[in-house]
Amino acid sequence: MKIGFIGLGIMGKPMCKNLLKAGHRPVVCSRNKATIEELSSSGATVATTPREVAAQVDLVITMLPNSPEVKEVLLGRDGVIEGARPGCIVADMSSIAPLASRQIAVSLAEKGIEMLDAPVSGGQPKAIEGTLSVMVGGKPEVFDRCVPVFKAMAASVVRVGDIGAGNVTKLANQVIVALNIAALSEAMVLAAKAGVEPELVYQAIRGGLAGSTVMEAKTPLMLDRKFNPGFRINLHIKDLANALETSHYVGVPLPLTAAVMEIMQALRVDDLGDCDHSALVRHFEKQAKIELKRAPAR
């Protein structure tokens, strides 16, 4: 299966590199000259437009910021829809609104193009490792054809339903992650303000019911003050906005999600939107007038 890849940012580039490591020779396009040169030197074929990518491949993977960008690349001028042959598959691995996925799929189907919505979880570290989790919506037979490609980038690949179901699942994932980081931040700031070393609290509770993948990934970043982005607050704001929009559409209140959304918005106002979402702790630190840090080595 010949693969095209569009969207070579913080997630897309390492995902594409893992396809190269697996022996694929993807057709790529990007406005970033350095990224194109890097992937080209590793064996990728370079195209100038999404239309040109689609004309050469059986499967087009997109990894883009949000619904408008996906619509532009897939349905816009010189877009994938203008170059893809009937039977071509589009796997949108971006995190976008489920309703947008369904609308795009209808437009593509009119040209005989199949679509999967296949967002991922794991952030940049797992994108680099090739151990992402992929949650997929779409026809079973189309999913089956794409599983080997997904497994070159991921440790877990699960079909969760028809088109749009992948992004519903990703929104649920992002709600859980956001609330976990907020709870972790609040608890660690409480411990620090009460005079207990946060690192010792972490070591004491990580093996119990409070332990989680979020705790393991984010506590060390908080303690080391390493807020360079693995997953930016701005992107999490985008995901929570999509979650809240979807919740209003289907009639499900999300009060905890709304509260964390407002905390993230406050951090963006403080020019922290491009920090990793572990920087949520900085909101609680600001309120408590304390900063988490590791204890000096004894």
Q: Which helix (H) or strand (E) holds 270?
A: none
CA distances in angstroms from 138 to 53, 89, 92, 131, 238, listed in the order given: 22, 11, 11, 22, 23
Across 50-77, b (16+ Cβ under 10 Å) vs e yields bbbbbbbbbbbbbbbebbebbbebbbbe
**Structural contact between residues 279 and 273, judged by C-beta atoms closer than 8 angstroms:** no
Q: Which two tokens stand for residue 151?
A: 């497994």
**Structural contact between residues 96 and 167, judged by C-beta atoms closer than 8 angstroms:** yes
In terms of Cα–Cα distance, which of 208, 188, 183, 202 is closest to 290? 188
Is 33 marked active-site? no
Q: Which of 13, 17, 126, 170 is catalytic?
A: 170
In terms of Cα–Cα distance, which of 57, 160, 59 is closest to 114? 59
φ, ψ at 140 (rounded to 5°): -55, -40
Query: What positions carry a catalytic annotation?
Result: 170
